[in-house]
Structure 1
Amino acid sequence: MINGSAKPVLPMNFTLREFRVFRVVYELRSFSGASQTLHMTQSAVSKVCQEMESKVGQRLFERSTRKVVPTLLADQLYRHVCEVLGTMDAAERSMRSLLNMEAGEVSVAASPMLCVGLLRKAVTAFHHAYPAIRIGLHELSTDETIDYVVNGKADFGLASIEGAHPKLTIEHVFNETMFVVCAADHALARKRSVSWEQLAAWPQISLHPTFSTRRTVDRVFASRRLAYATAIEVGTVLSAISFAKAGVGVAVLPGYVTELVGEFGMVAKALPAEGVEHPIAIITRHNAMLSAPAARLLDDVRQSLEQGPRATS
């Protein structure tokens, strides 16, 4: 039974302005920092947050003289705020483009090496064809790339993603080959081929688990009932290559980095592809309405990838 004395749930009627202020305060953990970012007075920022708290009937932030700490309710609200504002930001970018190719902005998310190894050709050609359109490349980890697309901070992304996602359309383009990268004087560099079993004997320079490359490596070793030792865990492919060059260990990386590896004077040996799944996919939000520039660049990227990954040796 429903308790007749229970208070009715009142509509909160949040505004987009409140959401925008809330998001900045939440991310900066500071009213003064938010006021500078939003070009508002600190008292105005504080008042907006107080009005939101009045609507929900609970505190969103615990305040002290030195810091602002979000409550559990604010943590939950933040995820929804990002989705709502992401949708609005994407719509604004689309409207600013005026459905033509004479102005506008395109936002793309991918890892740094995906930007260099797989996006560079299409993005460069697009820029030469449409120089008035601003391109924003967000260089992120795999998990951050997914979040940027889900929250509308990027029109589309490029990532190695396994399985489905409830809020994304995932278009698999090809399956990448994995390579072991080592210094030119390393013992593996002299071998005609390298197996995963041989690789397991050498310490590795590993990427953080937020990168799909690390998850692929872990999955392959587990499927073969092999183990490996990590010498150093790093946050970028460039660091992995640099430490491998210094002889600290070897790195297992996707084929799209082999051009850069060669420029570093390193050696890249293809590993057996059997049982290895490292799919490269284009990701967009479900039912996303892309602006004309974003749709054109997405088509260019798709065509570039469908021609096949770059030739590697």
Structure 2
Amino acid sequence: MAITNYRVDDLRALAALHAAGSFVRAAERLHITQSALSRRVSQLEAVVGGRLVQRTTRRVALTSLGLNLIRKTALLLNQLDDAVAEAGRSARGESGRIDVACLTTVAYSMLPPVLDAFRKRYPNVRLHLRDDTGQRVAHAVLAREAEFGIGVLGHPSTELHAEYCVDDPYVIAFRAGHALQRRKRVSWKELQAWRVVALRSTSANRQQIDETLAAEGIASPWFDEVEHLSSMLGLLRGGVGIGVLPHLALQSDAAVDLLSRPLHSPDIVRRIGLFRRRDTSLSQPAATLWDMLREHMAGHG
């Protein structure tokens, strides 16, 4: 189907002429001159290839062709106006939605106080949160499924703009009463003496730890494996071994009765930050949420 080029302003001119019944009143409605109004109607007639307005000495009326065109486009023009108005409200933060991809551990440890403050500034802006693993968070941003992401900063990307916020160190966690409770910190080599629960080798956290330990010539201390952090927390609370996990993972209610100690030699941390596509700009509400998250996370470093 061939595409016909036309101006929306010309359609508005025809609609105003139909509603007002005269060039004078129609021009006043549109805040333009009569000559400008006449020119717009003539341009639309040229595009259509037929007369849209019947001019007589007594009145101005639309032809059957013009009436048919108005009937089919009046609702579309209203919908177009509504869509543009809604986009303006979203841009100003008066309504709309922000799509954010976020690490699950950050979602429950860092987001609540920030969102509480954000709601006071933008009470009508909805949040669509994609809480997931680090790799999927980055994919959501790259695929434009989220305006920005909060996740682990890896190798620099030519497609993403990233801002570092806070370090999230790995710790050893256990139930109260464990022998490690008497220690102030624990080395990675010392973990060989215990049955340590680990995330599966497909986990980005596990891969980071294994690569760092291998570079230091330290054997991995893993005994049991689980798929999700929530499963690990359940095992640890039940006294089934001890587990290595990011410190932020202990900020949820599911870990309220667990203790932890820093791991050292080497110190291994996840670098948490914000990132977005370089070729896009954040909406005003999203930019505000970005700044609030950056400030909050930096304050917990």
| Residue 158 of structure 1 pairs with residue 150 of structure 2 | yes
What is the aligned partner in structure 1 of residue 102 from structure 2? 110
* Secondary structure of 1:228's aligned partner: coil
Note the aligned Cα RMSD (angstroms).
Answer: 2.4
User: 1:296 maps to which residue?
Assistant: 288
User: Does the Cα contact within 8 Å between 1:234 and 1:240 map onto a contact in 2?
Assistant: yes
Q: Is residue 119–residue 301 contact of structure 1 (8 Å, CA) maintained in 2?
A: yes
Q: Indicate the residue corresponding to 2:262 in structure 1.
A: 270
Residue pair 2:114, 2:296 contacting (<8 A) in 1 also: yes
With normalisation by structure 1, the TM-score equals 0.63
User: Structure 1's 96 and 115: CA in aligned 2 closer, same or farther, altered over 3 A?
Assistant: farther
Match of 1:174 in 2: 166
Structure 2 unaligned regions, length at least 5: 1-83
Aligned residue for 2:219, secondary structure, equals coil
> For the residues of structure 2 that align with 1:167 and 1:219, how far apart are their CA atoms?
25
Provide the C-alpha distance between the structure 2 equivalents of 1:211 and 1:254, rounded to a whole number of angstroms: 12
> Which one of 94, 98, 101 corresponds to residue 93 of structure 2?
101
Q: What code does the residue aligned with 2:207 have?
A: R
* In 1: Cα distance, 2:166 partner to 2:224 partner: 30
Q: How does 1:22-37 map to 2 (within 5 A)?
A: none
8 Å Cα contact 1:200/1:226 also seen in 2 = no
Contact kept, 8 Å, 1:180 with 1:270, in 2: the verdict is: yes
Contact 2:169 2:267 in 1 (8 A): no
Q: Is the 8 A contact 2:173 2:245 kept in 1?
A: yes
TM-score for both structures, normalised by structure 2: 0.65
How many Å apart are 1:111 and its aligned residue? Answer: 2.0
Letter of the 1:285 counterpart: R
Q: Distance in 1 between matches of 2:289 and 2:125?
A: 11
Structure-2 separation of matches of 1:220 and 1:202:
20
Equivalent position of 1:250 in the other structure: 242
Does residue 133 in structure 1 map to residue 91 in structure 2?
A: no
Cα offset for 1:104?
A: 1.2
Provide the C-alpha distance between the structure 1 equivalents of 2:283 and 2:299, rounded to a whole number of angstroms: 25
| Aligned with residue 196 of structure 1, among 148, 167, 188 | 188
Residues 117-140 of structure 1: CA deviation (Å, up to 9, x unaligned) = 122221222124322110011111
Q: Does 1:306 align with 2:290?
A: no
Q: For the residues of structure 1 that align with 2:235 and 2:99, how far apart are their CA atoms?
A: 32
- State the 1:158 CA deviation: 1.0
Change (3 A) 1:95 1:109: same
SS state of the match for residue 200, structure 1?
A: helix
TM-aligned CA deviation for residue 107 of structure 1? 1.1
Q: Which residue of 1 aligns with 2:178?
A: 186
**Which residue matches 1:212?**
204
Identity percentage of aligned residues: 25
CA distance in 2 between counterparts of 1:209 and 1:292 reads 40
Cα distance between partner residues in 2 of 1:228 and 1:299: 38
1:143 and 1:211 in contact (8 A); partners too? no
What is residue 260 of structure 1 aligned with on the other side? 252
Q: Which residues of 2 match residues 213-252 of structure 1 at below 5 A?
A: 213-252=205-244
Cα distance in 2 between the residues matched to 1:270 and 1:134 = 38
Report deviation, 1:115.
Answer: 0.4
1:209 CA drift (Å): 4.3
8 Å CA contact retained: 2:173, 2:242? yes
**Contact 2:100–2:130 at 8 Å: present in 1 too?**
yes
Residue number in structure 1 paired with 2:70:
none
Residue 160 of structure 1 aligns with an amino acid whose one-letter code is: V
Residue 161 of structure 1: how far off its partner (Å):
2.4
Q: 1:153 to 1:97 in 2, by over 3 A?
A: farther
Whole-Å separation in 1 of the counterparts to 2:202 and 2:272: 16
Bigger strand share: 2
**Other structure's SS at 2:280 match:** coil
Contact 1:180 1:251 in 2 (8 A): yes
Would the aligned equivalents of 1:261 and 1:268 in 2 still touch at CA under 8 Å? Answer: no
Structure 2 counterpart of 1:133, which letter?
V
1:273 shift after superposition: 7.0
Aligned residue pairs: how many?
Answer: 217
1: CA distance, partners of 2:153 / 2:97: 26
